[in-house]
């Protein structure tokens, strides 16, 4: 999988790159409009992470160019501007998703995987990890080919963790992903523990080859069990 990261902030670019490399993606970088345009026109990428404010031109302009050349690049806009207009325009110009900075890397991975999945398998994919499989389109979850009933939130949590296998997800990141942006009060995340507890129970009862580890009250990590 080849991913192009278009980002003018070097430090930001670095950390995104490091995170993507850890997932074994091939990463190409562009730090300004012209080099990004050149790369986009010359090579094929499975996914493009695109900042809007770039030296030399706007990311939206790049999208326009791509659209003109009939290229679909599986683009995710990453922008510090939480502007609805930009979001709408970006999506209209063919971007697949819009992520506002600052974001969690786990969230970025989930979005990238969702975009790749949609394009690559036309949504008919079946993700397999050990004896566990997920049909994203039909929102079904199987262990040993046997369907396990999950409620809406449980399924979302499961997908988020499978997109971030072996990565520690703190509870704030999880809450934000599943319950949306407005969960800003660290009030108490007891209800998250309750949901995760249910999931763990279901995984354990069906002898799943994955498990959700609780990490020191910080969050959870999905790992494959040594069978």
Partner 1 sequence: MKIKLSSYLSFRLLGVMLTVLFIWSAVYFFVQMREIHAGIDEGLENLKQEFIRKAGTNPNFIEDMEKYRPLNIIVKEVDFYDAKDEAERYITTKVYFETEVEEEEVRMLESYFFCSLNGKYYSLKIFTSTVESDDLIKNMLYTLIALWLGLAIVLMIWGRIYINKATKPFYSVLDYLEKFQLGKSGEIDMPETSIKEFAQLNKTVKKMLRSSTEIYNEQKNFVENAAHELQTPLAITISRLELLMNEPGTTDIQIKEIHKILQTLNRMKRLNANLLLLTKISNRQYWKTDSVDLTALFEQVLGDFSDFAEHKNIHLSIVRKATITVEMNSDLAYILATNLIKNAVIHNINGGRLDMVFTENTIVMSNSGLNKPLSDKMFSRYKTGEDKMDSSGLGLSIVQSIVELYNFSISYSYQENLHTFTLRL
Contacts of residue 110, Cβ cutoff 8 Å, sequence gap at least 6 = 159, 160, 163, 164, 177
The region of 59-67, 104-112, 120-128, 204-212 touching partner 1 under the rule CB under 8 A is 104-112
Minimum distance between the CB of residue 142 and partner 1, rounded to whole angstroms? 25
List, in sequence order, the alpha helices (H) in 73-170.
84-92, 105-120, 152-163
Interface residue with partner 1, options 54, 111, 219, 222 (CB under 8 A): 219
Number of residues lying near partner 1 (CB under 8 A):
39
List the one residue from 105, 115, 134, 208 that touches partner 1 (CB under 8 A): 105
3-class secondary structure, 84 = helix
Q: From CA 131, how far away is CA 61, in angstroms rounded?
A: 45
89 lines the binding site for partner 1 (CB under 8 A): no
Among 39, 67, 153, 202, binds partner 1 (CB under 8 A): 153
CB-based contacts of 155, cutoff 8 Å, min separation 6: 139, 141
Taking CB under 8 A as the rule, which mask of x and - marks residues 43-82 in contact with partner 1?
A: -------------------------------------xxx
Are 2 and 26 in contact, with CB atoms under 8 Å apart?
Answer: yes
Q: Which region among 29-37, 65-73, 162-170, 200-208 touches partner 1 (by CB under 8 A)?
A: 162-170
CB of 39 to partner 1, least distance (A): 22
Query: Which stretches does DSSP call E strand in the chain?
Result: 2-6, 26-30, 47-50, 53-54, 57-58, 75-79, 97-100, 127-129, 132-135, 140-143, 146-147, 168-170, 210-215, 219-224
Binding residue for partner 1, selected from 35, 114, 142, 179, defined by CB under 8 A: 179
Going by C-beta distance under 8 Å and a sequence separation of 6 or more, which residues neighbour residue 3? Answer: 20, 25, 26, 27, 28, 45, 46, 47, 48, 49, 112
**Contact region with partner 1 (CB under 8 A), list: 30-38, 136-144, 189-197, 206-214:** 189-197
**Interacting residues toward partner 1 by CB under 8 A:** 9, 11-12, 15-16, 18-19, 22, 80-82, 84, 101-106, 153, 167-168, 170, 172, 179-180, 182, 184-187, 190-191, 194-195, 215-219
């Amino acid at each position: 999988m080849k991913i192009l990261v278009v980002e003018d902030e070097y430090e930001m670019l670095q950390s995104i790159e490091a995170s993507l490399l850890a997932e074994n993606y091939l990463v190409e970088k562009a730090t300004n409009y012209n080099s990004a345009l050149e790369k986009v026109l010359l090579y094929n990428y499975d996914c493009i992470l695109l900042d809007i404010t770039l030296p030399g031109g706007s990311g939206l302009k790049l999208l326009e160019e791509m659209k003109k050349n009939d290229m679909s690049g599986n683009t995710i806009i990453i922008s510090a501007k939480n502007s609805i207009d930009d979001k709408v325009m970006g999506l209209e110009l063919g971007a697949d998703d819009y992520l506002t900075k600052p974001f969690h890397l786990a969230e970025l991975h989930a979005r990238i995987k969702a975009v790749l999945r949609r394009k690559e398998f036309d949504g008919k994919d079946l993700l397999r990890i050990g004896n566990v499989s997920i049909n994203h389109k039909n929102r079904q979850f199987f262990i040993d080919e046997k369907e396990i009933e999950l409620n809406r939130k449980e399924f979302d949590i499961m997908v988020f963790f499978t997109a971030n296998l072996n990565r520690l997800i703190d509870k704030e990141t999880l809450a934000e992903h599943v319950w949306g942006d407005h969960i800003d009060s660290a009030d108490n995340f007891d209800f998250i523990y309750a949901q995760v507890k249910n999931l763990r129970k279901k995984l354990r009862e069906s002898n799943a080859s994955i498990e959700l580890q609780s990490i020191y009250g910080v969050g959870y990590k999905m790992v494959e069990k040594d069978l």
